[in-house]
Amino acid sequence: MHPAFSVIFFTTSSGAGYGLLALMGIFGAAGLLPADRWVGLAGLFMALTLISTGLLASTFHLGRPERAWRAMTQWRSSWLAREGVMAVLTYIPAGLLGLGWIWFEDTRGLWAVAGIVTAILSWITVVCTAMIYRSLRPIHQWHNDWTVPAYTLLSLMSGAVLMSVLIHLFGVDNNYIQGLTVVTLAAGWGLKTLYWGFNRRSKGLPTVNSALGIDAGDVSVLELPHTSDNYLMKEMGFKVARKHADKLRRISHLLGFALPLALSLLAMFISGYGAIAAVIIAWGSCSLGILVERWLFFAEAKHTVNLYYGATTV
């Protein structure tokens, strides 16, 4: 698939934003974050800014962005519509959480309930986004049991890395949050590695033979249906060389997981400006690594329509 930057930015930005927002809701309700208005303002501002800019960027890939709101009317059958509905609904409890945290400096009682509801709706929104890709049967690289868990965990991981920056900037002593950052980085790295391995080892994918019901022999297209590239070939026939994909995967392993994990571990044993520098670099590295990971997520996805245009397998 053609890796459009608007969609890549949307999935990474909103994923990190929802991950941070969910953690703000949970840790705020549990009393593991101080009910200080500046902590609440900074955390919720970062989360909602990432979410809002990501959602706005997602409309740039549409032919008529001004009609994006109409997609939400199809929520009974479309995961895209469900994502839009849940994204809008999440702003309501998030606003209540912000009101209690920033105005009243309180995260208990009603405000705690708002925090829990915010976390639940954030998680549901991320799952709906992942299901947009999981539900596409013609793309085997997405239509598998690894897509939703990997997408959801990377959202939580990105949010945890960003929250680690937040607590160090405000001098919040909370080993639970830093420990969660380390755990989610390790788990996200492992799950993404398994996802890549699954796609590399997958067998029984659609081929020209299976499409025609011919078991033996090599089948090839005698004459291509078009003499020049069309929309389907550009959007769904994007190709990335194996050597480039492997190189980008190594970059994602390093920047997205290995380096942030090492720096997050380091931050658990040091303090002061050294710890702040470590978590900020970890966040920057993780963000770049996840951008590369998400580019590969789209670039390596092969639609079965390519069989019609001369591909032997997808």
Closest C-alpha among 191, 190, 161 to residue 178: 161
> Residue 138: is its pLDDT beyond 90?
no
Mean pLDDT of the chain: 88
The percent of residues above 70 in pLDDT, for the chain, comes to: 83
pLDDT of the residue at 73: 80
pLDDT at 204 over 60: no
Which of residues 267 and 76 earns the better pLDDT score?
267
**Domain-embedded: residue 314:** no
Q: For position 46, what pLDDT does the model report?
A: 97
Q: What is the pLDDT of residue 210?
A: 66
pLDDT on residue 223? 66
Q: What is the mean pLDDT of residues 37-59?
A: 94
| Structure-model confidence comparison of residues 201 and 29, the more confident one | 29
Range of the structural domain that residue 72 is part of:
5-214+224-309
CATH no. for residue 277? Answer: 1.20.1630.10
The verdict on residue 103 lying in a domain is: yes
Q: How many domains does the chain have?
A: 1
Could you tell me if residue 219 is inside a domain? Answer: no
> pLDDT tens digits for 58-109?
877 666 666 666 777 878 888 988 999 999 999 999 999 999 999 999 999 9
Mean pLDDT of 28-50: 95
pLDDT above 70 for 209: no
pTM: 0.91
Identify whether 80 is part of a domain.
yes
**Range in 6-10, 140-144, 198-202, 237-241 with the lowest mean pLDDT:** 237-241
